[in-house]
Chain A
Amino acid sequence: DAGITQSPRHKVTETGTPVTLRCHQTENHRYMYWYRQDPGHGLRLIHYSYGVKDTDKGEVSDGYSVSRSKTEDFLLTLESATSSQTSVYFCAIGGDLSASTDTQYFGPGTRLTVL
């Protein structure tokens, strides 16, 4: 199994509060991703990173920001959480087609509830 952890695994917060989710990898992969999973929508990409301090937006990036100051850590921040951001958040690593690591491996997920 790929060495990916997410913290926290569960979080309940209130509307308007900031929230930061952390993804940590021990595989030294260049690429890291944040997805959200919602019923009826499947998995949707929020942001991704292709190196330290190199990030780009996915299809549902509004209301989210990311940071990657170290290869092993990719942070997802909800600046002011809203109820529509209640979801399960997955981090993934891999996907570098220049190497053989073109498969994305997923973390265990974080269940976020915004009241």
Chain B
Amino acid sequence: AQKVTQAQTEISVVEKEDVTLDCVYETRDTTYYLFWYKQPPSGELVFLIRRNSFDEQNEISGRYSWNFQKSTSSFNFTITASQVVDSAVYFCALLNAGNNRKLIWGLGTSLAVNP
């Protein structure tokens, strides 16, 4: 079975707090790709990161960082020193190499960053 679980439906933090969004995935494939997308209140879907299954190196981009752990099938996303502009729904997604390019989506985590 292929599945993506984002257990946190909603998170509310105060500006400048650090926040971690969890993503747990299930797949039987050895080659797969993981993604994070951001959907701000304006509604567009913005690509944030792609990670290949054979590359467990963590990644940092400014205030954003991602922790990929195959041992726990997790691909968590941390925002450091959150800002109001980070308020959005964040989606984690899984793509198996042999799955006809079909993304498996989590249901998203709604993050509210309050001033």
Contact = CB atoms under 8 A, between A and B. Distances in A.
Interface of A: 31, 33, 40-45, 48, 50, 56, 58, 88, 90, 92, 95-97, 102-106, 108-109
Given A42-B91, A42-B105, A97-B95, 4 more contacts: A41-B107, A103-B35, A103-B50, A108-B43
Nearest to B6: A42
29 contacts: A31-B101, A42-B91, A42-B106, A42-B108, A43-B91, A43-B103, A44-B105, A45-B102, A45-B103, A48-B100, A48-B101, A50-B100, A50-B101, A58-B102, A95-B103, A96-B101, A97-B97, A102-B50, A102-B95, A102-B101, A103-B35, A103-B50, A104-B35, A104-B47, A106-B37, A106-B45, A106-B46, A109-B43, A109-B45
Nearest to A109: B43
Which of A42, A50, A88, A108 has the most B CB atoms < 10 Å from its CB?
A: A42
Contacts of B103: 43, 45, 95, 104
A74 to B, nearest CB: 14
Contacts of B64: none
Q: In the complex, which of the residues A41, A43, A96, A102 has the most CB atoms of chain B within 10 Å of its own CB atom?
A: A43
A90 B39 CA distance: 12
A62 B105 CA distance: 20
B54 to A, nearest CB: 13
Q: Which of B33, B43, B108 has the most CB atoms of chain A within a 10 A radius of its CB?
A: B43
Contacts of A104: 35, 47, 103
B42 to A, nearest CB: 9
Interface string B61-101: 00000000000000000000000000000010001010011
Contacts of A105: 47
